[in-house]
């Protein structure tokens, strides 16, 4: 079904998932306000499940997008398989967050309806950020996403670490947004447009790769994206923000926000600047090198498991940057595949950290995991699977994802980068397996808590994550095929732009 994007009523169909989620977020806010008593500040326990219903409706709306096709060449938000794939990824991260967080926020006396409203609006920003075809729309989506996340990081106002992490994230985020906006201005000055397809056409037609504005603009865009994906040396906010935020919020940031930022990163550089690959690949290669090596080295000395996983998240950003540096269809497909696996294993591992941490997140050190296999065998098995997948152990989704990234890098001639990825992954085995060793080969401490209480939502989130990680390690074909179809959308210049290019 063709939609005339010049007509607002039809353009609304293009934005149906985002509209559904936005309207539902406002409805959840109103329900929360009216259900609270005059003396009660706590929200109803039904709010998280109501939020989950909205995420499900947005997923249904997203499933309808393949029925639509834009009649014009330049929709501000793409109607392509890449956007549909990234939308599902953002919704998956949000849904797993809801499942794992309900009991936690009750335990911490943070049953706040506005928290779930902010998560919905952050998800809307993530979806538009990953699907935008115009740099200015992308910037607006970035701010919608970021402002919601800044508040979520500091949502526990009684915790000094939470406030400190939120402040650092906000200040550095403001700087990165300024870099991103200045990069957009310079790209506009060099290409005369902010629409990604038209930038690619203009660069190809006029040989604008020689313009001094474009390389500087690309570098500044890289700084903005580097901050959002927590690439070294733009990662300074990450350990403090991840450690200070409530653990479910940390999981949502590490998985959902990073996935959306990486999807936008890939879309901009492969859609708008394919003709300047030789210019920006140097940036991507150096970011990947610094991120893989630097993050893994620092993670080695971390005794706090939550902080260790924060540096682990940074290291995985380096692996994904290798796929970006490949700049090929295979690299983009492996990129998307790895993002799905990364989302599952990251949210799953943080869910275990949340459970072991207990009230007030008092048990975040390695000692807290001593003898976990004897106190809570199922939880220890799940955590071991996540750690092995993060390390890239065979028969896990993490291993398959890294193999495809390595293949893409080698086919592009980035052999040294591929070798460093392998060595960095081997280095990570030490700190991942150290946690497993504490769980399986250390005696429980005398003051260890008894069996941990797992809510139905946490059990479901862990089950989805474990099954997903194992299934993608054994039968990756279906998801990889979907990732290849979605990645192909980034390499197609609309026929309607060919005249513009000439």
* pLDDT tens digits for range 292-302: 999 999 999 88
- How far apart are the C-alpha atoms of 47 and 142, rounded to whole Å? 26
Among the ranges given (68-77, 95-104, 408-417), the one the predictor scored with the smallest mean pLDDT: 68-77
pLDDT above 80: residue 123: yes
Asked whether 342 and 255 are in contact (CB, 8 A), the reply is yes
* pLDDT tens digits for range 344-396: 999 999 999 988 887 777 777 888 888 888 888 899 999 999 999 999 999 99
- Round the CA-based radius of gyration of the chain to a whole number and report it: 22
Mean local confidence (pLDDT), 328-336: 89
- How far apart are the C-alpha atoms of 79 and 42, rounded to whole Å? 40
Q: Could you tell me which residues come within 8 angstroms of residue 184 by beta carbon, excluding any fewer than 6 positions away? A: 135, 136, 139, 194, 217, 221
Percent of the chain clearing pLDDT 70 (strictly above): 89
For residue 448, count other CB atoms closer than 10 A to its CB.
16
DSSP state of 67: G
* pLDDT tens digits for range 240-255: 888 888 889 999 998 9
**Residue 490 structure tokens:** 């980034």
Of 308, 262, 270, the C-alpha closest to 287 is 262
* pLDDT tens digits for range 275-296: 788 888 888 999 999 999 999 9
Q: 3-state class of 365 per DSSP?
A: strand
pLDDT at 7: 57
Question: Secondary structure of 92-129 in the HEC alphabet?
Answer: HHHHHHHHHHHHHHHHCCCCCHHHHHHHHHHHHHHHHH
DSSP state of 156: -
* pLDDT tens digits for range 86-121: 999 999 999 999 998 877 887 777 777 788 999 999
Q: Where are the domains of the chain?
A: 2-501
Of 397, 371, 415, the C-alpha closest to 468 is 397
Q: Could you tell me which residues come within 8 angstroms of residue 492 by beta carbon, excluding any fewer than 6 positions away? A: none
- How far apart are the C-alpha atoms of 79 and 70, rounded to whole Å? 7
Q: 3-state class of 231 per DSSP?
A: coil
Of 60, 24, 28, the C-alpha closest to 46 is 28
Among the ranges given (30-39, 120-129, 341-350, 482-491), the one the predictor scored with the smallest mean pLDDT: 30-39
pLDDT at 314: 92
Q: What is the mean pLDDT of the chain?
A: 85
Asked whether 337 and 483 are in contact (CB, 8 A), the reply is yes
Task: Give the helix/strand (H/E) hosting 70.
Answer: strand 69-70
Residue of higher predicted confidence among 43 and 248: 248
Total-model pTM: 0.91
pLDDT at 140: 93
Asked whether 148 and 196 are in contact (CB, 8 A), the reply is no
**Residue 27 structure tokens:** 């409805």
């Amino acid at each position: 079904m063709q939609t005339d994007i010049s007509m607002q009523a039809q353009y609304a169909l293009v934005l149906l998932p985002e509209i559904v989620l936005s309207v539902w977020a406002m409805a959840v806010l109103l329900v929360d306000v009216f259900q609270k008593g005059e003396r009660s500040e706590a929200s109803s326990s039904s709010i998280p499940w109501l939020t989950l219903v909205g995420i499900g409706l947005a997923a249904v709306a997203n499933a309808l997008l393949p029925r639509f096709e834009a009649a014009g060449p330049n929709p501000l938000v793409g109607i392509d398989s890449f956007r549909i794939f990234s939308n599902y990824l953002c919704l998956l991260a949000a849904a797993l967050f809801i499942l794992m967080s309900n009991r936690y926020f009750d335990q911490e006396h943070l049953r706040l309806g506005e928290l779930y409203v902010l998560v919905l609006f952050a998800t809307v920003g993530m979806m538009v950020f990953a699907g935008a075809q115009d740099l200015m729309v992308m910037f607006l989506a970035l701010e919608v996403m970021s402002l919601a996340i800044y508040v979520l990081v500091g949502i526990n106002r009684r915790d000094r670490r939470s406030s400190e992490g939120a402040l650092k994230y906000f200040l550095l985020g403001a700087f990165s947004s300024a870099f991103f906006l200045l990069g957009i201005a310079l790209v506009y000055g060099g290409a005369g447009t902010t629409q990604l397809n038209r930038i690619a056409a203009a660069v190809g037609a006029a040989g604008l790769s020689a313009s001094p504005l474009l390389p500087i603009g690309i570098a500044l865009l890289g700084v903005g994206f580097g901050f959002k994906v927590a690439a070294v040396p733009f990662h300074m906010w990450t350990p403090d923000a991840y450690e200070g935020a409530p653990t479910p919020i940390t999981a949502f940031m590490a998985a959902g926000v990073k996935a959306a930022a990486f999807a936008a990163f890939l879309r901009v550089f492969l859609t708008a600047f394919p003709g300047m690959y030789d210019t920006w690949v140097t940036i991507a290669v150096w970011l990947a090198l610094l991120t893989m090596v630097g993050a893994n080295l620092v993670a080695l000395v971390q005794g706090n498991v939550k902080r260790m996983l924060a540096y682990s998240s940074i290291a995985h950003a380096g692996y994904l940057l290798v796929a970006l540096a490949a700049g090929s269809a295979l690299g983009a497909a492996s990129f998307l595949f790895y993002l799905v696996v990364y989302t599952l294993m990251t949210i799953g591992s943080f869910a275990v950290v949340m459970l072991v941490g207990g009230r007030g997140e008092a048990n975040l050190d390695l000692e807290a995991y001593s003898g976990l296999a004897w106190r809570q065998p199922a939880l220890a098995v799940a955590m071991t699977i996540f750690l092995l997948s993060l390390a890239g152990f065979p028969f896990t989704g993490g291993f398959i994802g890294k193999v495809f990234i390595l293949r893409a890098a080698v086919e592009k001639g980035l052999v040294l980068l591929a070798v460093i990825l392998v060595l960095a992954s081997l280095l990570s085995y030490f700190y991942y397996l150290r946690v497993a060793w504490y769980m399986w080969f250390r005696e429980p401490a005398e003051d260890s808590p008894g069996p941990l209480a797992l809510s139905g939502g946490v059990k479901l989130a862990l089950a989805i994550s474990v099954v997903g990680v194992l299934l993608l390690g054994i039968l990756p074909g279906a998801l990889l095929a979907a990732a290849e179809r979605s990645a192909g959308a980034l390499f197609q210049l609309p026929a309607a732009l060919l005249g513009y290019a000439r």
